[in-house]
Amino acid sequence: MTNQELNTHQIKVIGHCNPDTDSICSAIAYSRLKNMIDPDHPCKPCRAGLLNRETEFVLNYFNVPAPQLYTDVRSQIRDVDIRRMAGVNGEMSLRSAWVTMRDQEIDTLCVVDEEQNLKGVITVKDVATANMDVLDTYILAEAKTSYQNIIDTLGATVVVGDVEGKRVEGSIIIGSGSPEQMEKAISKGDIVIVGNRIESQLTALEMDAGCLVVCMDSKISRTICMLAEEKGCIILSTTSNTYVAGQMIRQAAPIRHYMVQKNLLYFNLNTSVEAATKRMASVRFRYFPILDDEGKYVGVVSRRNMMNLRKKQLILVDHNEKSQAVDGIDQAEVLEIIDHHRIGSMETEGPVYFRNVPVGCTCTIIYQMYLENAAEIDPTTAGLMLSAILSDTLMFRSPTCTPMDERAARALAEIAGVDLEQYADAMFEAGGDISGKTAEEVFRGDYKIFNSGEVRFGVGQGSYMSQKNRLASEALLGPYLPIALEKQGLDFIFYMFTDVRSASTDLLMAGKGAQRLVEHAFGVEVKDGMAVLPQVVSRKKQMVPALISAVKQAMEDAERQEDSAS
């Protein structure tokens, strides 16, 4: 199995589509644990979105590369059984192409250059059509056929002449008539197929034929050989009779002359299976070329290959709601879910390992799993898990934080060899820096979508150590929330600007009725689209439950009003 195939079939450990530090670090830490305890089923950490500044700081601090980005896990051509059929050279003869198709039980060959760039495609139908052109005696010259192809096709040997690099320049003539008739038919450079009649051989040489094909291993006199050498005429000897040689010699033409070059239908490894299947149904070809990520030919697929589809296998971390998952989740196979949030809307085709623990961070659960499996935690992995816990619990200030989270963080800090408080300050300060970022980039730094009945709303959050960074973010995102609301087609959007030091949140909102919901949910007054929420720092435990409760209450009130009116 190639590295590319191994990479394709690895289990992907992936967080939600707007990844925060816990989502990224959980994917990395859990992949490492799975590879230690179950090396036969390799895992790779992935991400479903762009990194925020805080996470970038963490990965840079511990010198860990960012996980590979996957924005869609729908089945792709790379997930099917590609037939690794080698590409062929355009100089291959029609005869050799047919033999290859017969032996390989395939009706399509892909023509490539030395660098594996796709140049054309030839099918068995193209070969059959070419073989029907029996009246075109000039075909070998038109196709610039090499003499080596003729030798290979006829199984001939060279008696006189040097064929290296030489190509046919004349017509194909069967030298079966009288010398007078042959003189009228032969032109300079022609290929003349003859038997053992010396007068026919001599006539061909006198008319400056380019090549004599002497059939049935007939004896060639020394005089004929000397004259051919003098004239610069090639003499080939074959065991075939003149009829067979005349039929087969046309099959020496190179396939590049007959291959399809324009409007080639091919797919690359990233083409979705759904799109490829629809395109295949619109044409009559059986096999289709596949190009890799660099545009190089790697093999072919057929409609039958699509039936042997291997869905991408996923382990979800730090989420269990479909609205937060990577695109195409319905077409993937979910094997496990490791999370610390409420049970959401995720449905799976079969049973999965689902570990959901009410703690402040997914990495706290993963830390516990390391201990359960007696797996060694190296300093780098410890630093990543520590970062996730500090981020999700706001350095133990969040109401979601449990004693288990704090114990895990302090143990991991010791393994990682960092001062917990100093590191946390640096991490939050880096995360709050928005310099050089657009409103959309900041907005998507840590953002999730939730459902309550028919109501869909988004909640984003940024954590800040300094008032300067927090106020700058508020000024940048305030005008953008209505734009994001319209783009995403949501009912409401709320964004939490959380001050880590004071354990409070400034809440901005967008959407008709959003202010009224916040006032009912938190019992505060909203001024200029902003609500100040002391001691509210947790999206999971404080913000989302309160908003869902307010939404349900509003829906019940609306129903009662309708009943009263009726």
Closest CA to 432 of 56, 62, 65: 56
Is 439-565 a domain of CATH 3.10.310.20?
yes
Tell me the one-letter amino acid at 351: P
* Mean pLDDT (whole number) for 275-292: 86
**At the topology level of CATH, where does 78-130+257-308 sit?**
CBS-domain (3.10.580)
pLDDT at 135: 67
On the question of a common fold for 3-75+311-431 and 78-130+257-308, the answer reads no
Domains in the chain: boundaries = 3-75+311-431, 78-130+257-308, 146-252, 439-565
For the segment 508-563, what is each residue's pLDDT rounded down to a tens digit? 999 999 999 999 999 999 998 899 999 999 988 899 999 999 988 888 877 777 76
The Cα 394–Cα 410 span in angstroms is 14
Largest CA distance in the chain: 119
For the segment 1-59, what is each residue's pLDDT rounded down to a tens digit? 444 444 557 999 999 988 999 999 999 999 999 999 999 999 999 999 989 889 999 99
* Mean pLDDT (whole number) for 407-419: 96
**At the topology level of CATH, where does 3-75+311-431 sit?**
inorganic pyrophosphatase (n-terminal core) (3.90.1640)
Looking at domain 146-252, which CATH architecture does it have?
Answer: 3-Layer(aba) Sandwich (3.40)
pLDDT at 6: 42
| Residue 414 or residue 127, greater confidence | 414
Going by C-beta distance under 8 Å and a sequence separation of 6 or more, which residues neighbour residue 105?
Answer: none
| Residue 466 or residue 109, greater confidence | 109
- For tokens 């390992």, the residue is 353
Q: Where does the pLDDT of residue 115 fall: very low under 50, low under 70, confident under 90, or very high at 90 and above? A: very high
Backbone angles phi, psi at 523, to 5 degrees: 65, 40
* Mean pLDDT (whole number) for 370-380: 97
* Mean pLDDT (whole number) for 240-257: 91
Structure tokens, 532: 């100040």
pLDDT at 5: 47
pLDDT at 152: 93
pLDDT at 501: 84
pLDDT at 284: 77
Structure tokens, 431: 């995360």
Name the percent of the chain lying above pLDDT 90.
Answer: 61
pLDDT at 233: 94
Taking CA atoms, 215 is separated from 128, 158, 170, 196, 198, in Å, by 25, 12, 19, 7, 12
* Mean pLDDT (whole number) for 230-237: 93
